[in-house]
A and B are shown apart, each in its own frame.
Chain A
Amino acid sequence: MASVLIVDDAAFMRTSLKLMLEKNGFTVVGEADNGAAAIQKYMELNPNIVTMDITMPVLDGIEATKKIKEVDPQAKVVIVSAMGQESYVRDAVVAGAKNFIVKPFKEEHVLKVLNSL
């Protein structure tokens, strides 16, 4: 099954997502709590999928997505974003994100998006 890197500054969100994904056969290979750490972890772990929060300290999700796409144009980044951040999601899609999940997320939606990649 696909390996996933979870990026979110909230440990709560990371764990929620991790439990959900692991229950459904994904392998969560790593977690990062900011954009800069995400880039490093991506290069280190080379996961199939990255789930990326937008609002994060140090480096936000959009910048991190850009950087990851620079390093690996084939990278599959899925944005995990809250309602009301539409324009950021748009920027993230332009930056190369494949798709997005809306917080608070439902299991079926998460699986649908990740399975489509």
Chain B
Amino acid sequence: MVLLSNSFREPMLEMYKFETNQLLEQMEQVVINSEKSNCCSQEAINEIFRIMHTIKGSSAMMLFNGISTLAHSIEDLFFYLREYKPENVDYMKLSDLVLSCTDFIKEELSKIERGVEPDGNPDESVNIIKAYLTELKGDGGGNAIQENTDEKKDEGKKQKYFITRSLSDNSEKTLYKAVIYFEEGCEMENIRAFTVMHSLKNIAQDIMCEPEDVIENEESTRFIRENGFKMQFYSDKTYEEIENILNETIFLKKLELEVVDNNDTANVNKKKPVIDLESDRSITPEAVRTEKEKEKEQANKTLLHNFISVNVNKLDKLMDLVGELVISEAMVTSNPDLKGLSLDNFNKAASQLKKITGELQDIVMSIRMVPLSATFQKMHRIVRDMCKKLDKDVELEILGETTEVDKNIIENISDPLMHLIRNSLDHGIETKEERIKNGKSQKGKITLEARNEGGEVIIIVKDDGRGLNKEKILQKALDHGLIQDINREIPDREIFSMIFLPGFSTKENVTEFSGRGVGMDVVSNNIEKIGGVVNVDSIAGEGTTMTIRIPLTLAIIDGMNIRVSNSTYTIPITSIKESFRAKEEDLITDPDGNEMIMVRGDCYPIIRIHKLFNIKDSITNISEGITIMVESEMNTVCLFADELLGEQQVVVKALPQYIKKVKGIAGCTLLGEGTISLILDIAALVKMK
């Protein structure tokens, strides 16, 4: 059965994946929070129920039946928890169960992501959930449930024999008999039958029907499918009127309507199963009602926030356009044609324009900003799972999760963070016994903190574990040939940062989570990709702190434009330490032809940009050009260019796809006069030396 054509399924797939992932994360949080407090509040149960209900529905629409089936079984489980509030719930088991199911669904989603058919078989999990549900129903709260179902039965009975609108005298009314057949595959025939009766409630009396209990009995649907829905009722309307009303039934396949002889009615009247069409079964005790009122209050609150979701591509386009606007503004206000003119009014208007473009730029930037909370919250799950597996007791403290960063950063920071946390838990935090032996509390602590500092976001992962072992790291680096010379004095920071070198791992035992020695260099690479740096500090026996610094936004930077022959380059201002005109006598050339320069007694390598990019007709005499000292990750080099052109805010644009990655170039930008400038990748340049 194909519900949706492919042309429909494709565009919906993105949305499905996004929403389902989001819901799963939300649910994971609820589960982990409940587990912490070792109970499951009514709200939490409701929320999980709702989330599973939604996932079930949308998965069924997308024909991902495995996911849908599994979600359905959890929905059933939480429906039971919600309705019957059993007391014998093992919350540990429950959260394990739910989390394993979210893992299954996530795995299926990642298959979908890769374009593979999600073919996982949920039967095993479904059976476990069903077994658990039976167990819950079976023992402990058994009595309560029994009572409950009894109550329900009573209610049902009442309903069945409750007579709505019995007229003392039916003589003037006509007794009709109708059989309604519904179209095949229209689903929920019993409710459709109920709807038909409901539509008759104002014109008919003493409605009797077969099957009698359309709603309560599951069999009724099958009965209606096979035999049609049979009704008998009194009405003062004419045959045609009744026929018209019944013919309006949706999904009606066939209607049989006849007038019954009044004489026959006597015996029918004896048993009168009349469905109560009026009752509103949702009995609301006072307590519940006040809760509802609270909910309404909350609803009003939520109404104040009006959110829309926008396609990210549109946002990127908007960002681009604002970037162009900033440039155009510079092109107009510093237009060479205006030189030498007295332009009082123009300048007034221009400064107004500048102010507004600035504000616009800020707003657009803020749209792209997303709080780190979702990313941070995900870490709870990792800590929980690892603690269980490694039998450690660790508390994860999250600080400053509302700090906002560019959405681009969010996408790239999650994996490195996960890795750092895993590392801290696995290698940093000691076992319970070891901690007690060392006079620490049994419970370890990992702090994940984010804050804004200047134009940067700082994310800190701190643990109170055993700290890094300097000697071990040095030895390892030597063994792997990562460093040659151990005799020179190496600062601590430099030693610690060796753990980010490719192929480095100090832990002998490779564990399931970390320690394959591929992780840490991936961490630093990922962070560099978004323009950030990572530093390590550690005190033996007290813990390790990893500090990640990322520029707040990557799209617009303050740049210094420099000229080399006819080409213009831009250097991010943040990486410039100083610029100066060098003297020839300070220049040192080593036997390999590498140039160095002495500045205040320190020696720095020189990178001549004209050599690097093969530019002709540039200044080659070091005392005629300009030397710019730049720094990245504590390393410093000097760049040599023809002249400085000036400072400007530039919009960073990636190099087009058809230009292969050029070493030393981070991107390009458009300058005020319309020329293109290449943005230098200082981190890469520093690494070259």
Name A residues whose Cβ lies closer than 8 Å to a Cβ of B: 9-13, 15-16, 19-20, 34-37, 40, 55-59, 62-63, 82-84, 86-87, 89-91, 93-95, 99-100, 102-107, 109, 112-113, 116
| CB-defined A-B contacts under 8 Å, sample of 20 | A10-B58, A15-B12, A19-B12, A55-B54, A57-B47, A57-B50, A58-B298, A59-B296, A59-B299, A63-B292, A84-B72, A87-B281, A89-B191, A90-B215, A91-B281, A94-B277, A99-B250, A105-B3, A106-B3, A116-B248
- List residues 357-379 of chain B with CB under 8 A from any CB of chain A: none
Q: Is the CB of A103 within 8 A of B57?
A: yes
Instruction: Report the bound CA distance from A40 to B367 in whole Å.
Output: 26
B60 / chain A contacts, CB cutoff of 8 Å:
82, 103-104
Give 9 closest A-B pairs by Cβ, nearest first: A36-B299, A102-B187, A104-B60, A58-B299, A12-B58, A10-B54, A104-B61, A89-B191, A12-B19
A103 / chain B contacts, CB cutoff of 8 Å:
57, 60-61
Task: Identify the closest chain B residue to A86 (Cβ).
Answer: B191
Instruction: Report the bound CA distance from A82 to B54 in whole Å.
Output: 9
Question: How far does the Cβ of B224 sit from chain A's closest Cβ, in whole Å?
Answer: 12
Question: How far does the Cβ of B293 sit from chain A's closest Cβ, in whole Å?
Answer: 11
Other A-B contacts than A58-B295, A94-B279, A100-B195, 9 sampled, CB-CB below 8 A, are: A9-B50, A12-B12, A12-B54, A55-B54, A62-B282, A86-B190, A89-B188, A93-B194, A104-B60
Task: Identify the closest chain A residue to B5 (Cβ).
Answer: A107
In the complex, whether B251 has a CB less than 8 A from a CB of chain A is: yes
A56 / chain B contacts, CB cutoff of 8 Å:
50
A112 / chain B contacts, CB cutoff of 8 Å:
250-251
Question: How far does the Cβ of A31 sit from chain B's closest Cβ, in whole Å?
Answer: 10
Task: Identify the closest chain B residue to A15 (Cβ).
Answer: B15
B198 / chain A contacts, CB cutoff of 8 Å:
93-94
Q: Is the CB of A16 within 8 A of B303?
A: no
Q: Is the CB of A109 within 8 A of B186?
A: yes
In the complex, whether B311 has a CB less than 8 A from a CB of chain A is: no
Instruction: Report the bound CA distance from A58 to B302 in whole Å.
Output: 9
Q: What is the number of residues of chain B that contact chain A, defined by CB distance less than 8 Å?
A: 47
Instruction: Report the bound CA distance from A48 to B190 in whole Å.
Output: 27
Name B residues whose Cβ lies closer than 8 Å to a Cβ of A: 3-4, 8, 11-12, 15-16, 19-20, 47, 49-50, 53-54, 56-58, 60-61, 72, 186-188, 190-191, 194-195, 198, 215, 248, 250-251, 277-282, 292, 295-296, 298-300, 302-303, 309
A16 / chain B contacts, CB cutoff of 8 Å:
4, 8, 12, 58, 61
Q: Is the CB of B302 within 8 A of A91?
A: no
Instruction: Report the bound CA distance from A44 to B282 in whole Å.
Output: 28
Most chain-B Cβ atoms within 10 A of its Cβ — which of A10, A13, A58, A87? A10
B57 / chain A contacts, CB cutoff of 8 Å:
10, 13, 82, 103-104
Task: Identify the closest chain B residue to A96 (Cβ).
Answer: B198
Q: Label chain B's interface by main secondary structure.
A: helix
**Contacts A15-B15, A91-B282; is A34 near B299 (CB within 8 Å)?**
yes
Instruction: Report the bound CA distance from A84 to B84 in whole Å.
Output: 18
Q: Label chain A's interface by main secondary structure.
A: helix
Task: Identify the closest chain B residue to A58 (Cβ).
Answer: B299
Instruction: Report the bound CA distance from A113 to B195 in whole Å.
Output: 13
B4 / chain A contacts, CB cutoff of 8 Å:
16
Task: Identify the closest chain B residue to A80 (Cβ).
Answer: B57
Partner of A82, one of B12, B53, B215, B300: B53
Question: How far does the Cβ of B568 sit from chain A's closest Cβ, in whole Å?
Answer: 46
B49 / chain A contacts, CB cutoff of 8 Å:
55
B56 / chain A contacts, CB cutoff of 8 Å:
82
**Contacts A11-B309, A15-B12, A83-B187; is A36 near B195 (CB within 8 Å)?**
no
Partner of B11, one of A19, A37, A104, A113: A19
**Contacts A19-B11, A36-B300, A91-B281; is A99 near B195 (CB within 8 Å)?**
yes
Task: Identify the closest chain B residue to A114 (Cβ).
Answer: B250
B11 / chain A contacts, CB cutoff of 8 Å:
19
Instruction: Report the bound CA distance from A49 to B646 in whole Å.
Output: 62
Task: Identify the closest chain A residue to B250 (Cβ).
Answer: A116
A95 / chain B contacts, CB cutoff of 8 Å:
280
**Contacts A83-B187, A104-B3, A112-B250; is A93 near B195 (CB within 8 Å)?**
yes
Instruction: Report the bound CA distance from A50 to B295 in whole Å.
Output: 22
Question: How far does the Cβ of B108 sit from chain A's closest Cβ, in whole Å?
Answer: 16
Q: Is the CB of B188 within 8 A of A86?
A: yes
Most chain-A Cβ atoms within 10 A of its Cβ — which of B8, B57, B298? B57
Task: Identify the closest chain A residue to B60 (Cβ).
Answer: A104
A91 / chain B contacts, CB cutoff of 8 Å:
280-282
Q: Is the CB of A12 within 8 A of B280?
A: no
Instruction: Report the bound CA distance from A19 to B8 in whole Å.
Output: 8
B281 / chain A contacts, CB cutoff of 8 Å:
87, 91
A113 / chain B contacts, CB cutoff of 8 Å:
250
Question: How far does the Cβ of B191 sit from chain A's closest Cβ, in whole Å?
Answer: 5
A57 / chain B contacts, CB cutoff of 8 Å:
47, 50
Instruction: Report the bound CA distance from A95 to B292 in whole Å.
Output: 17
Task: Identify the closest chain B residue to A82 (Cβ).
Answer: B57
